[in-house]
Structure 1
Amino acid sequence: MNTVWAAVAAATAFVWLGMVLAISFLEAPLKFRAPGVTLRIGLGIGRLVFRALNRVEAALAGVLVLAVAAGGLPAPVVVPTGLVVGLLLVQLGVVRPALNRRSDRVLAGEDGPRSRAHLVYVACESVKVLLLPVLGIAALSL
């Protein structure tokens, strides 16, 4: 086990945590409260912001996997890493495409039922917010 890679894993987990908290739990709900922000404008902004967030998350996941593999880190770090990366893959591969289809319809002016995919995305984000500090603390403890 390499303590430098453990420190990289911890730092990556905490940076990732901060980004998810700031974007998903602060920016996303607040933008709809700003004066003049309609649902269509908010969705347009949200798509841009979450596309950028997800790209950064993918990069952070790559760094995290590299740190865990290169550092030979133990199970208390490997397990939450696998779970957090798995959640991100579900979000990117399953949930985001469903959200994009729904936002495409709304942005095109169509009306329809609310998507449950949003609730799944929020649930994934919530679990990541629980797992990332566990991962970071476990890596710092090495």
Structure 2
Amino acid sequence: MDGWLATTAGITFFWTGVVVAISFIEAPLKFRAPGITVPLGLGIGRLVFRAVNSLEALLAMVLVVALVLAGADALVWVPLAVAIAALALQVVVVRPALSKRSDAVLAGEDAPRSHAHLGYVAFECVKLIALVLGGVSALASG
């Protein structure tokens, strides 16, 4: 296997693990912990997702470099481009809407539930599937 394709696969599966651990395990469980109120959970979530999205942006940049250096074909590029696009949409479009609601809740307002949360989860699912497909494609290309 080409070293850059192996690097691509490694980064992709590491990123997959981050998404699963934070979005599908930590985020929903946090609100079940004793003593965690909605405002406290939202405050924790904002910090965690800001950090995770920063890490994901770094991984995406390194991934693009690895893809270029590997000379990867479209079977590898396309799903990983979808994952990167999903991340960009989450950060640029969905997170600001989520921040408005969490700002209101943290200010003590009784804000209605946001449909933006469902959008964020949908993009997480798209990102997860795309990362797995891209990682498997990188392994198969090597």
- TM-score, scaled to structure 1: 0.96
Residue equivalent to 2:90: 91
Query: What is the 5 A alignment of 1:1-142?
Result: 3-142=2-141
- Count the aligned residue pairs: 141
Q: Which amino acid in structure 2 is aligned with residue 59 of structure 1?
A: L
Native 8 Å contact 2:83 2:128 kept in 1: no
Question: 1:39 & 1:8 partners in 2: Cα distance?
Answer: 39
Shift of 1:115: 0.6
Unaligned runs of 5+ in 1: none
Shift of 1:112: 2.2
> Sequence identity of aligned pairs in percent?
57
Unaligned runs of 5+ in 2: none
Native 8 Å contact 2:15 2:59 kept in 1: yes
- TM-score, scaled to structure 2: 0.96
**1:92-141: CA deviation from partner (whole Å, max 9, x where unpaired):** 10001111111011100011221111000000001111111111111011
Shift of 1:71: 1.6
Question: 2:66 & 2:140 partners in 1: Cα distance?
Answer: 15
Shift of 1:8: 0.9
